[in-house]
Each structure stands twice: as C-alpha cells, then as structure tokens.
Amino acid sequence: MTQQEDQQEELAERRAAVAELGAAVRALTDAAVVSEVDDATLRSVAAAVAELVPSLTAARRERHERPATDPPGSGHRWYNPVIGAGNPMAPPVHVELVDGRAVGTCVLGLAYEGPRGYVHGGISALLLDQILGHAHGASGRPGMTISLSLRYRGPVPLNTPLRITGWLGESDPGRPSDADDHGDDRQPSHAIGTISTADEPDSVLVEARGKFIVPNRKQVQRIFGGEDFAR
C-alpha cells in the first residue's frame, strides 16, 4: 500500500468515526427535545453526558484550525452546520446537482421548532443560504454571501421530508466589478432558492434571493490568512 493510500484510508476511518459521533449526539439532541420523562431521569442523563465531555476536549482545535476530516483540496466541511455529518446541529442535508440546480433533502425534527409543529424561520434561512452557496459553487466560482432576503409564504412542517432547491440568477450589472491583480471579474452574482415539501415540490413555502461574490486575493488574505476559503 502506498503512502497516499495509507493517508486515504486514515482519512476515511477518521471521517467514519466523526460521522458516528455526530449521529449519536444528534440522536441524543432529538431525544432531549422530545423527552417527557421524569426529572430524576433527566438529571441522571445530564450527569452522564457531562462526564463524557472531558474525553472529547482532551485534544481540540481552535478557530481557523483545519479539522483532520477536511484536508486541503477536499472541498467539504464535515462540521458544517447544514451538511456536515460530524456536526450534531446539521440535519444533515444531502445535496445533489440536478440539471444545473442544487437540490437538498432532509427531515427536520423538533430540535428545529419555531411555531409549534413547524420549522423556525431562522433555520429556513440557514438552509437556503447553504443551498444557494452550492448553486453558486457549482458554477466553478465558490463565493461568499453578501446579502440574503427571504419571503415566507407558508409554514415549513417538522418531521416531513423537505426539498431545498437553489439555482443561479443573473449577475449584477449595476455594480462595478472588483478585480484583483489578475483581472478576474468580481461582479456579484445572484442565486434563487426555495423550500417545499418533497411530496409537493411545486408548492413553495419559503423563497430566497441571495447575492454572492468571489473574494479577491486581499480579502482572502485578510479573512482567512491567505488560505483558499473554498478548499
């Protein structure tokens, strides 16, 4: 086995372990927000969970440090709060490119509740920002959100298969381009997205419009210390 194959095997094992922990804590979170057991049981479980924390924090990364699951060039964030299998906050959303559009699917449980029985509006915004980013990145120019507006047309039900769709709109002709020293076009581009149920994909519950821009070299240096933010 070559060194590269060894590294790939180690990365696969690490990602599997991270995903396993993420799924377990996600299940714990789901159980915690639906549980109606007695107070003594709640306190017993809380104490057991608290005892586990030091084992995880014995070795930890800090802000701007890349996790072991995301080596340079991997193009994926395993702790992303929407699609990351290692992040208990993430549903996670499964994203595919279908006919030039980014299509995400997920089911949101009671941990994401706003109005009783429905998804919190801020969670809808989070999902749409992510899917619009996928749509923009599919063009070969991953960008950062500079504005996001939403229209809530109907409540999004919990415990229901959802479909989140994003696609590119037109670039902004009214804003001067922000070119770096290579002369790359930095005009903002627009993306459009919707949330619907999987059973009724044409019945839009939430719609969004986002504006994205590819950061130039100076911006990447200032924000990320020179590392390509998209990698």
Q: How far is CA 47 from CA 23, 40, 50, 51, 56, in A?
A: 20, 11, 5, 6, 16
Written as six digits, the tokens of 102 are: 């980014």
Per-residue model confidence as pLDDT tens for the chain (231 residues): 787 778 899 999 999 999 999 999 999 999 999 999 999 999 999 999 999 999 999 999 998 889 999 998 777 899 999 999 999 999 999 999 999 899 999 999 999 999 999 999 999 999 999 999 999 888 777 788 999 999 999 999 999 999 999 999 866 555 444 444 433 446 788 999 999 999 999 999 999 999 998 877 787 777 766 565 555
pLDDT at 222: 76
Written as six digits, the tokens of 125 are: 């915004």
Domains of the chain, earliest start first: 3-57 (no CATH), 94-224 (3.10.129.10)
The answer to whether the pTM exceeds 0.75 is: yes
Give the whole-angstrom CA distance, residue 197 versus residue 1: 46
pLDDT at 184: 46
Q: 169: closest CA among 147, 152, 153? A: 147
Give the whole-angstrom CA distance, residue 105 versus residue 131: 10
Q: 164: closest CA among 114, 109, 123, 221? A: 123
pLDDT at 183: 38
Q: Other C-beta atoms within 10 Å of 133: how many?
A: 24
pLDDT at 228: 59
Written as six digits, the tokens of 8 are: 């790939």
How many Å from the N-terminal Cα to the C-terminal Cα in the chain?
A: 27
